[in-house]
Chain A
Amino acid sequence: MAIKILRVFFIGLLLLQFPLFQVVRCQSEIEADVEGSELGIVREDVQDFVGGNFKPAPGVETICLFPKNSAKVVPAGEKTELLVGMENVGQSPLNIIAIEASVHLPFDHRMLVQNLTAQVFDNASVPPSTQATFPYIFAVSKFLQPGTFDLVGTVVYEINQSPYQSTFYNGTIEVVEAGGFVSVESVFLVTLGISLVVLLGLWIHGQFKRISQKTKAAPKVEVGTGTTDASMDEWLQGTAYNQSSSKSKKKK
């Protein structure tokens, strides 16, 4: 009966899960290029600048800040924001073209883990002797293993129609698993841990009982009304039983 209930229960649970099943798909393109088009019309010559290698301009200083995130924690698969501060110490205004970034392995910079989507700007400029801030929202792949990685962020800009590029960040980020405290694995692990502790407690309890039983005196075993007192055999005097035992004694 119990087995039948169990069988019905598990089959029912399996059937319930069917609509929620999802085949794991490999995703190569992580996020759509929405940010570039949302800020306005994209320049036509952006493709020439993004991905190229240019030198930094002498009168430009950059700084990188992870707002409210000094530990530089990046949840895998979720949006993270960082702010790029630009200071134009020169005489002519500079136009920001794009901000791009890439993730590398910490011990070998040549090993590229992921190229993050570049954020293209249409009408962003920094006047001379001013500081300006630009946001960069990115998301690393959802399947990236938690750990320390290197993030290299560069900003591409132009002064007087000549392109330049500055690295605003070349350091480590901490990738962590996105997700709350209660997940499938954590619930199973916690239940397993509690059950192991309970089993251990039961075993210790059993051991205690065994040890305490040994120290007690052996309990009296009831054998019924039979006693082996010789004087109780009086009623057998003169019977065949007594004569045969005396005979055997004589024979000896």
Chain B
Amino acid sequence: MATLIRNSLMKALIVIFFASVATATSDAPFIVAHKKASLTRLKSGSERVSVSIDIYNQGFSTAYDMSLLDDSWPQDMFDIVSGNTSRSWERLDAGGLLSHSFELEAKKQGMFYGAPAVITFRIPTKAALQEAYSTPILPLDVLAERPPEKKFDWAKRLLAKYGSQISVISIVVLFIYLIVTPSKSSAAKASKKKR
């Protein structure tokens, strides 16, 4: 009786093992990388590029030996100010997120078209190194000449943004104030009567 149960258990395990092997191809990690670059103009006139790369694992298994390399910023156009253009991690579990950011200083003026960053990782089922590309970035207008801001542009922007809210709150507050405070004419009438 015990041997029968053991045999059927063994068979069930073998079936499950083969089934899992057959579905192993869908069990791979799926690396989705989001690369963002933004320009900030400092008061001194120089321009800084802040690059941030978010790596998500949308697959069903862990990715090992993750390594990020962003070679799309040539040395003659950009200087690294902080951080590093490459980084590596040990693993990224399914559903996890890794972030990396660095800052560059722009040296040359002109339109810059950036290439995607490359992420390499390993999976247990394959020997070769897997590759994934991040999102490309929109063209950056580096060190562009900005027309001087006209007078009161900032005031106009603030008004457009908050004008309706400020006017509504002022209407309500003024109305409440009018109702709550006694008017001067009725106070004068009352004082006249007393006399």
The answer on a CB contact under 8 Å between A63 and B32 is yes
Q: A1 and B133 in contact (CB under 8 A), knowing A133-B32, A187-B169, A188-B168?
A: no
The answer on a CB contact under 8 Å between B135 and A135 is yes
A160 vs B78: C-alpha distance in the bound complex, in angstroms? 37
Asked if B31 is an interface residue, CB under 8 A from chain A, the answer is: yes
- Provide the residues of chain A in CB contact with B163, threshold 8 Å: 20
The answer on a CB contact under 8 Å between A39 and B138 is yes
A38 vs B152: C-alpha distance in the bound complex, in angstroms? 31
The answer on a CB contact under 8 Å between A134 and B183 is no
Asked if B22 is an interface residue, CB under 8 A from chain A, the answer is: no
- Report A1-41 CB contacts with B as 1/0, cut-off 8 Å: 11001100100010011001000000000000000001110
- Provide the residues of chain B in CB contact with A65, threshold 8 Å: 32, 56, 58
- Provide the residues of chain B in CB contact with A1, threshold 8 Å: 183-185
The answer on a CB contact under 8 Å between B133 and A17 is no
Asked if B65 is an interface residue, CB under 8 A from chain A, the answer is: no
The answer on a CB contact under 8 Å between B184 and A132 is no
The answer on a CB contact under 8 Å between B131 and A131 is yes
- Provide the residues of chain A in CB contact with B56, threshold 8 Å: 65, 67, 83
A127 vs B190: C-alpha distance in the bound complex, in angstroms? 91
The answer on a CB contact under 8 Å between A17 and B168 is no
* Shortest CB distance B145–A (Å): 19
A38 vs B113: C-alpha distance in the bound complex, in angstroms? 10
The answer on a CB contact under 8 Å between A133 and B168 is no
The answer on a CB contact under 8 Å between B132 and A132 is yes
- Provide the residues of chain A in CB contact with B134, threshold 8 Å: 133
Asked if A184 is an interface residue, CB under 8 A from chain B, the answer is: yes
* Interfacial residues of chain B within 129-169, with CB under 8 A of chain A in the complex: 130-136, 138-139, 163-165, 167-169
- Provide the residues of chain B in CB contact with A124, threshold 8 Å: 136
The answer on a CB contact under 8 Å between A67 and B139 is no
Query: How many residues of A sit at the interface, in one of the four size bands?
Result: 35 or more
Q: Specify which of A9, A38, A131, A187 is in contact with B165 (CB 8 Å cutoff).
A: A187
- Provide the residues of chain A in CB contact with B164, threshold 8 Å: 20, 183-184
Asked if A243 is an interface residue, CB under 8 A from chain B, the answer is: no
* Interfacial residues of chain A within 83-114, with CB under 8 A of chain B in the complex: 83, 85, 87
* Shortest CB distance A33–B (Å): 14
Closest to B172 in A: A191
- Provide the residues of chain A in CB contact with B34, threshold 8 Å: 67, 83, 133, 135
* Interfacial residues of chain A within 179-214, with CB under 8 A of chain B in the complex: 180, 182-184, 187-188, 191
The answer on a CB contact under 8 Å between A184 and B165 is yes
* Shortest CB distance B24–A (Å): 13
The answer on a CB contact under 8 Å between B172 and A188 is yes
Closest to A89 in B: B25
- Provide the residues of chain A in CB contact with B135, threshold 8 Å: 83, 133-135
Q: A2 and B168 in contact (CB under 8 A), knowing A65-B32, A133-B135?
A: no
A97 vs B171: C-alpha distance in the bound complex, in angstroms? 54
Q: A130 and B54 in contact (CB under 8 A), knowing A1-B183, A6-B178, A65-B32?
A: no
The answer on a CB contact under 8 Å between A5 and B178 is yes
* Interfacial residues of chain A within 151-180, with CB under 8 A of chain B in the complex: 180
Provide 20 A-B residue pairs closer than 8 Å at the C-beta atoms, listed in order of the A residue. A2-B186, A9-B178, A13-B167, A20-B163, A63-B32, A65-B32, A67-B34, A67-B56, A127-B131, A129-B128, A131-B30, A131-B32, A131-B132, A132-B116, A133-B133, A133-B135, A134-B136, A135-B135, A135-B136, A187-B168
